[in-house]
Amino acid sequence: ILVKEDRAAMDHGLETRAPFLDRDGAEFALSLPSSLKVKKDETKILFKHACKQYWPSEIQTRGKQGFDGPYKVWLGFSEVEMLLKQVFSKEGKLRRLLPGLTYSQISIKNYETWNLMTLGIWLDHHDVSI
């Protein structure tokens, strides 16, 4: 099933992670009391403690990091700006789907703008009636 998951993820440009798949390890983890695995705002307690000697302190204490692409940079490219104008135009399918959306709302270059643009491109390239 990992091969299928990997192919499906790659086919759609997704980054996925497989969990630890060792059966004995999984059974051991399931047998542990919750207090060794999770507290109010801390997870993987026992796992982190077991790996502590292998990780530098800056890794142990840092917060979660995502796998975002450099969408803020991409949104600054003139070619992408043209796509934004096209996707957010009054004639575009995205504006029919989200009639309250205006071009001025995308002046802030953020992840929401990137997602809306990619949705708009997808809508424009597929036979979707809105």
Q: Tokens 């542990």 identify what position?
A: 32
pTM, entire model: 0.54
Each residue's pLDDT expressed in tens, for the chain with a length of 130 residues = 778 888 888 888 887 877 677 889 889 989 999 999 999 888 888 988 998 999 998 988 888 777 778 888 999 999 999 999 898 888 889 989 998 887 777 777 888 899 999 999 999 999 888 7
Q: How far apart are CA 35 and CA 13, in angstroms?
A: 36
- What letter would DSSP give residue 64? -
- What letter would DSSP give residue 39? E
Write out the H or E segment, with its range, that includes residue 50.
Answer: helix 45-51
Long-range contacts of 125-130 (CB under 8 A, 24+ apart): 128/93, 130/93, 130/96, 130/97
